[in-house]
Amino acid sequence: MHKTILAVSAALTVSLLAPLTAIASSPEEDLKAFRDYYHAKFPDTPEADFINGVYSIDEDSRVQWENMEEFPVYEEDIAAGEELFNTPFANGKTYADCLKGGGVGTRQMYPYFDSDTGNIVTLEEAINTCRVDNGEKPLKYKKGPIAQISAYIAYTSRGNKINIEIPNDERALAQYERGKKHYYMKRGQLNLACADCHYYNSGMKGRSEIWSPSLGHPTGMPVFRWGKWGELGTLHRRFGGCNKNIRAKPFKAQSDEYKALEYYLTYLSNGLEINGPSSRK
């Protein structure tokens, strides 16, 4: 009698809000609309301050957080990352030899569109490509050494402005659109989109947790989460966590899907300063 079969299949499908995709808009138009929206919603937050996640919109937790940041919990990770970064591979080469621009101070150019392959290249992926090209084993993507190396590179890039280009290439635009689609698509058993929490309802509370704006999310990665992780994790680890929370099957870290999502979201934060690694409660 009850619609169990129907319900199960419905839970597996995802629905897309029609109006959002029906209106085609260029990345430039998206960026402007995205920013205008958050500025109207959070008139007291200067644009440059959105790099501080939820603390950019919540004065109470900000004070606590600023106290925490006086003795940064990720300091040892940066040191470990620096050491890893400078330790030569078995063949004598280093990360500096194979990462674009030598790696140091380059966080703001990731992720980028690679016109040779049509793929998006993230910093973490570039680190592993570097390893494999030099005969080393790839590192696991969500935490540990890769997050530490990423943290060191972010740290040496602090203050540099995010600069993501979407070249005039259909494939680059397709990657951007794929990320955008992921962001707005309702998914999982709970039927929620990233945009539901971090766009339309940013600043609102789910239980006692305030949902942060997506503007600025990529600047502070990797992130050390005191409570939930007790360690450093990458942006894609966070994506996976948010997908799991809505009971959607997470994609793999560094999957094409999450790389496209990172490309989309990081583009929308263009011009904001890198301030990673960062800490969150």
Q: Which residues bind ligand HEC (CB under 6 A)?
A: 53-54, 192, 194, 196-198, 206, 209, 211-212, 217, 220, 223, 238-239, 242-243, 245-246, 261, 280
Q: Considering the complex, what minimum distance in angstroms separates the CB of residue 96 from ligand HEC?
A: 28
Dist CA 245 CA 256 (whole Å): 21
The rounded radius of gyration (Å) of the Cα atoms in the chain is 19
98 part of the active site: no
207 binds other proteins (CB under 8 A): yes
Q: Cα–Cα distance between 223 and 149 in angstroms, integer?
A: 13
**Structure tokens, 242:** 């948010």
Minimum distance between the CB of residue 9 and other proteins, rounded to whole angstroms? Answer: 10
Q: Is 204 in the site for other proteins (CB under 8 A)?
A: yes
CB contact at 8 A, 85 and 152: yes
Q: Which does 217 bind (CB under 5 to 8 A by kind): other proteins, ligand HEC, none?
A: ligand HEC
Position 196 contacts other proteins (CB under 8 A):
yes
Q: Can you list the alpha helix ranges (DSSP code H) found in the chain?
A: 4-12, 18-22, 27-41, 59-68, 75-86, 95-98, 123-133, 145-155, 170-184, 194-195, 235-245, 256-268
- Say if residues 175 and 122 touch (Cβ distance below 8 Å): no
C-beta of 63 vs 204, nearer to other proteins: 204
The reply on whether position 189 binds other proteins by CB under 8 A is: yes
CA-CA distance, 246 to 251, in Å (whole number)? 13
Closest to ligand HEC by CB, 95 vs 254, is: 254
As measured in angstroms, the least distance from the Cβ of 59 to other proteins is 17
Q: Which residues are catalytic?
A: 242
Residues that bind other proteins (CB under 8 A): 2-4, 6-8, 10-11, 15, 17, 189-192, 196, 200-201, 204-209
